[in-house]
Amino acid sequence: MLDLIIRVGRSNVWGNPTGLRRVGRAMSAKTIVVGGGAMGTAIVSGLLDSGMLSPGDVVVAEIEEERRRVLGTQFGVTTSSEPSTCVDSGKVVILAIKPQNFEELSRSIRPVLQPEVLVISIMAGVSRARLREALGTDRVVRVMPNIAAQVGQGMSVWIADDGISSDDRKATKLVLAVLGSELEIEQESLLDVATAVHGSGPAYLYLLAEAWIDAGVEAGLDRPTSEVLVRQTIAGSVALWEQSGRLPAELRAAVTSPGGTTAAALEALEPFDFPRAMRAAIDAATRRSHGLG
């Protein structure tokens, strides 16, 4: 369980007027999550399940009535249809909305956004400069998580703006820790690349898995058997990679015996130039991410 002291420079982001706060099983704070979709739900779930916050410390602003009902019932949190009515009470505001909705949102919350608030954005492609200009604060963090955050195994890459203190960084790390692993970078252009690699990355894996399973079925396996074999092969291969500490190229060589079945399979893939296809995918996703900002 987390157990540390957070000291926030200008004000304590968790609402402690003394500037000191012990983060343990319960951490008193008013955290506003704007957006109750898949990622917003993952954040709320992680914050509550970890014991960092209690339901009374979280407000979710969500425009869809059914989502508000589900979130209120499932987590016991307060919900609102209007972000502008609850953002002014927040110490941490997490923006978990689609980037195309940001302009309208920013117009509504900027007048009530307090200068001591830490803003954490998980919107793809929305730059720090755009966040700063639209919200009127440089106390912002731009984050790119991925879908595995829904099961606490995500990867979040983030960059802080100029107004972020070392204690804001600690608070950000605490929030992102409930989603999985996190990594801070210093060059914003690399966040677009990271988005292409890890943010879109699960889709590359799932596309490969689809084709892999279909190929097994076409070769004679029934679909449930093919799916089990592919899923466990992926999970086991990742576990071996992680525990062995070896490079992917080394592990690939270890399973590829000269003249064997794996060698024959890899040779059959060569004309399709899989590495080139991956480079094209990363480049396209990077350019798209940059264009969103």
- pLDDT by residue for the chain (293 residues), tens only, comes to 333 322 223 333 433 333 323 334 344 458 999 999 999 999 999 999 999 899 999 999 999 999 999 999 999 999 999 999 988 888 999 999 999 999 999 999 999 998 899 999 999 889 999 999 999 999 999 999 999 999 999 999 999 999 999 889 999 999 999 999 999 999 998 999 999 999 999 999 999 999 999 999 999 999 999 999 999 999 999 999 999 999 999 999 999 999 999 999 999 999 999 999 999 999 999 998 888 76
pLDDT score of 29: 56
* Amino acid type, 211: A
Within 13 Å, how many C-alpha atoms sit on residue 81's CB side? 5
Within 13 Å, how many C-alpha atoms sit on residue 44's CB side? 31
pLDDT score of 293: 63
Q: Please give the domain boundaries of the chain with CATH numbers for all domains.
A: 4-189 (3.40.50.720), 201-292 (1.10.3730.10)
* 42 alpha carbon, distance to own chain's centre: 9
Q: Taking the model in full, what pTM does it have?
A: 0.83
- Residue 67 structure tokens: 């989502």
Kind and range of the H or E element at 182? strand 180-184
pLDDT score of 1: 30
* 213 alpha carbon, distance to own chain's centre: 27
In this structure, the number of other CB atoms found within 10 A of the CB of residue 115 comes to 11
In the 8-state DSSP scheme, what is residue 226? H
Cα separation, 113 vs 7, in Å, equals 22
Contact 68, 79 (CB under 8 A): yes
- Residue 44 structure tokens: 């709320």
Contact 142, 162 (CB under 8 A): no
